Structure 1
Amino acid sequence: MATPRPTGAEAPNPSPPLLKSPEAAERLAISPRKLWALTASGEIPSVRIGRNVRYADAHLDDYVAAQTRGGRS
């Protein structure tokens, strides 16, 4: 007998999808080359899956927050 799959409120929240390099660069409004440089320097964490490199939204948000200066209180 098959186990029923959770639905609605019972279903676990899926993690947000990881972004490909061009998508992450576009989201940050920078070139893919600049994104690679920031990744190589460790300023933006990446996830390597085989030969593919992906970026989590949360890591991009953290980078933007760290770069934000001043602002209104």
Structure 2
Amino acid sequence: MQRIKHPPIRNKIDLTDPDQARAWTRRLSLSADALKAVVGKVGNSVAAVTKELELQRISHQPSPEPIPPAEAELPPPV
């Protein structure tokens, strides 16, 4: 007799299922340890995890450089 494998809940991340954990690490482009840390911090909701990752990525990006004035862009014609 075969066991029925229930489909995963689409809005929750189940880290006990290796296939699901691998799929989420690929989809979110992070390591398994990082995924465990984020799930431990905000819970296993997909929405909460993706929101937290976006906030982390935004906070780690450097601020954009100021745009120089227009006259400083090109050297004077010769």
Report TM bin, short chain: 0.3 to 0.5
User: Relative contact order, CA 8 A, sep 6+: which one is greater?
Assistant: 1
Between structures 1 and 2, the one with greater strand share:
1
- The structure number with the bigger radius of gyration is 2
- Structure 2 length-normalised TM: 0.36
Q: TM-score, normalization: structure 1?
A: 0.38
